Amino acid sequence: MSRKQRPLAQIISYSSFTMPRNLSVITFFIALTVQSCLSVTLYEYYVPDGVPSTGLVAEGETFTLNGKNLTIFSGSFHYFRVHPDYWRETFKKMRAAGLNTVQTYVPWNLHEPRQGEYDFGELGEDMSPFLDLRSFVQMAQEEDLFVLFRPGPYICSEWEFGGMPSWLQRDPTMHVRTYYDNYRSAVAAYFGALLPQVADLEFTEGGPIIAVQIENEYGNFGYDDEPRDHLYMNFLKNLTLSSGLDNSLLYTSDSPASKLDWGTLPGVLQTANFQRDAESNLSMLKLLQPNRPMMVTEFWSGWFDHWLADVHTDWDVDEFATTLDYILSHGSSVNFYMFIGGTNFGFMAGANAVPTWPTYAPIVTSYDYGAPLSEAGDYTEKYSRLVELIALYNPLNGIVDNPVGPAQRQKAAYGDFPVTEILDIYSLISQAPVKFVNDEPLNMEALDMNNGNGQSYGYLLYSTNVKLQVPQSELLIRGHVRDMAQVFVDLVVQTKPYQHLNDVNDFGFWNGRDKNISLPGTGNPADRLDILVENLGRVNYGAAHNFYQKKGLWEGDVLVDRERVLGWTMTPLEFKKSFVNGLTGWEPFTTSANGPAMYRTTVTLSSPPLDTFLDMRQWNKGVVFVNGFNVGRYWSVGPQRTLYVPAPLLVQGDNQITIFEQYTAASAVSFIDVPILS
Ligand SMILES: *[C@@H]1O[C@H](CO)[C@@H](O)[C@H](O)[C@H]1NC(C)=O
Ligand SMILES: *[C@@H]1O[C@H](CO)[C@@H](O)[C@H](O)[C@H]1NC(C)=O
Ligand SMILES: *[C@@H]1O[C@H](CO)[C@@H](O)[C@H](O)[C@H]1NC(C)=O
Ligand SMILES: *[C@@H]1O[C@H](CO)[C@@H](O)[C@H](O)[C@H]1NC(C)=O
């Protein structure tokens, strides 16, 4: 959608001189011109003279933008979850649905991977290509959309640590999401780098940003009888204003029916998050804030999945449409959370702290969310239903353009490719870039790596030599393992894969406390003992005490036959692209290792690549790298069984598919053309 219409004369002369003299082509161009005379773009409607004088105002029943009524029809689309080659096409699909706005969160952990090192696309990290926030915001405007900006710094979003960088936890007295000094100074430095990226893209300066959110569901942060830290909220508000985002509407988002106005600030617009029961949630919002327009900042169009859950969660499309009808017919503005969910690539999936057993629930790789556009950007039934409802309730229907959306992208079933090479765990460990030696086991965050920022993601191997008795000794780990551990004696795996839900209480899983396991001894004076611990995702949602979550072994001693074991070597496995692509020592594959190993195959494509799905149903648990890029975790426990591979990660020609499998590998890698999410 171009904001400037080409003059009629130019189009006609272009078509008659450079096109073949074909009547239907000329008719087509004339038809296009006639249509664009009847309706205008959003920006032409809201900024007829090109210079906005006032931005978004929330007084009375209806929002106004530059003095004209605006009902916000918005969709959440996170640039860090959709391949950048698909951003523009996604915006077009949103605009074609009748939306006028896009809403995004901003992930601090990706934008500041190491303290003081900022990444807005230029840092050369594996995720850097996804991080050009400024281009994303500008592209939204090019596609005729406004922007609701949610900088966090806490974003929840089923994202690792709710978007916060793990290095914050190197401060032993850190209190995230509070007025605590060291947290506050870290936020101030980050916002100081982030907000100027987009400060000149506010609506009143000719850009698309109409509103900025302060914190996120802050009413949920704490127990019901505790007051919220309003000093911190005010600090964020002041910081936003002083960093140049000083001319946008400010808002907060919470669940008014249960959290009332605990997460709000005076003068800042309160908005609602909910899925069902629109009536009670909206009426509570109206009661709390009678003289301002209603906005549902998160209308949950679907839901996310946890590993180990029986089925893929979705939401019935009729209930979705009925609730949307209620929201729109009561004059409320709406944002679909999500409009397109996308993917938690790499190790970016978070986890939820749940009040009931098993207390910690890690999130799957797909963030399909049951959204109107699927993980791969496909139109769904929810999309068609919301298009009808928006057309029905949009006061500007027929006045503002309604462009046609792009066609569905084709998917490919590339079939089976036999695994050709294996790299054993010895070779893998020996090629790790760093190792640390310490008497006691250290948590990931404490390791002196990544310029003093610790290890954020992946696995950490704890190794030592101990005397194990014949026939067996007892290994005891005090506290919990964070989050899952596999044990090896002389690199032979001793722990079993997860099989039943109750296993999470046992040795090697997050819910087990002070658990032990029997290990076979050889009678040698020193057997090699290794414990491989995986960070399955830091908690993104829960009460304040859930936000202290160091990973690895650190809660208590490790004992063999009741004696404390000291003298550990720690080998981080972050599986960055350069590491995966640089691995050497591959051997021809004959059979699966019993325990962790790397596997590889080459997929040769003779035509331009298409989107596809890796079918991991024959595999057990691990991570897949496509040409070195981490496309995420897979796990036989489900519900998700395939991994989405967007075409831009593949090339025409040879592609390396590398898999870190922790238990037993299949003999082939398979690509199918549909996702299996349950
Ligand atoms: C703008 O909204 C207000 C409040 O809902 C309404 O009274 C008014 O008629 C609307 N104006 C236009 C031009 O639609
Ligand atoms: C925010 O700014 C206001 C106005 O300048 C000031 O009164 C207040 O103390 C500031 N609050 C914080 C927490 O910085
Ligand atoms: C409000 O929304 C939440 C979330 O969808 C829902 O659980 C609840 O039943 C709704 N109503 C009230 C009164 O909380
Ligand atoms: C080891 O585990 C067994 C059962 O799982 C338990 O009976 C025993 O007390 C444990 N040993 C220690 C030292 O905790």
Q: What is the pLDDT of residues 370-427, one digit of tens each?
A: 999 999 999 999 999 999 999 999 999 999 999 999 999 999 999 999 999 999 999 9
State in Å: Cα 257 to ligand 3 middle.
6
How many residues are there in the chain?
Answer: 678
516 lines ligand 4 (CB under 6 A): yes
Count Cβ atoms below 10 Å from residue 568 Cβ, excluding itself: 20
Per-residue pLDDT tens digits for 561-614:
999 999 999 999 999 999 999 999 999 999 999 999 999 999 999 999 999 999
Count Cβ atoms below 10 Å from residue 35 Cβ, excluding itself: 12
The predicted pLDDT at position 547 comes to 86
Contact 199, 577 (CB under 8 A): no
Angle at 292 between CA 195 and CA 267, to 5 degrees: 50
The predicted pLDDT at position 19 comes to 34
- For the chain, residues classed under CATH 2.60.120.260 are 415-421+582-672, 432-573
Per-residue pLDDT tens digits for 19-43:
333 334 333 333 344 444 568 999 9
For residue 543, pLDDT over 90 is answered with no
Mutational test site, ligand 1, from 59, 61, 62, max ligand atoms within 8 Å of CB: 62
The side-by-side arrangement of strands in the sheet containing 629-635 is: 587-588, 421-423, 597-605, 653-661, 621-626, 629-635
Return the ligand 2 atom nearest residue 231 CA.
13
298 catalytic? Reply is yes
Give the ligand with the smallest distance to the CA of 394.
1
548 CA to centre of own chain: 20
Q: Does domain 415-421+582-672 have CATH number 2.60.120.260?
A: yes
The predicted pLDDT at position 626 comes to 99
Q: Stretch 339-360: mean pLDDT, rounded? A: 94
pTM (predicted TM-score): 0.93
CATH class of the domain comprising 432-573: mainly beta
Model confidence at 545, in pLDDT bands (50, 70, 90)? Answer: confident
Residue with tokens 């897979």: 634
Which of the two residues, 365 and 7, has the higher pLDDT score?
365
Distance CA 446, CA 448 (A): 6
The predicted pLDDT at position 488 comes to 96
Catalytic residue among 143, 158, 215, 298: 298
Residue nearest ligand 1's atom 14 by CA? 69
For residue 13, pLDDT over 60 is answered with no
What SS3 class is residue 186? helix
Residue nearest ligand 1's atom 11 by CA? 69
Q: Stretch 9-16: mean pLDDT, rounded? A: 29
Distances (CA, A) of 37 to 31, 258, 427: 10, 48, 67
For residue 358, pLDDT over 90 is answered with no
Residue nearest ligand 3's atom 14 by CA? 257
Residue nearest ligand 3's atom 9 by CA? 277
- For the chain, residues classed under CATH 3.20.20.80 are 56-375+377-393
Rg (CA), the chain: 27
217 catalytic? Reply is yes
> What average pLDDT does the structure give for the chain?
93
Distance CA 126, CA 46 (A): 39
Q: Stretch 138-145: mean pLDDT, rounded? A: 98
| CATH node for 56-375+377-393 | 3.20.20.80
Residue with tokens 């997460």: 263
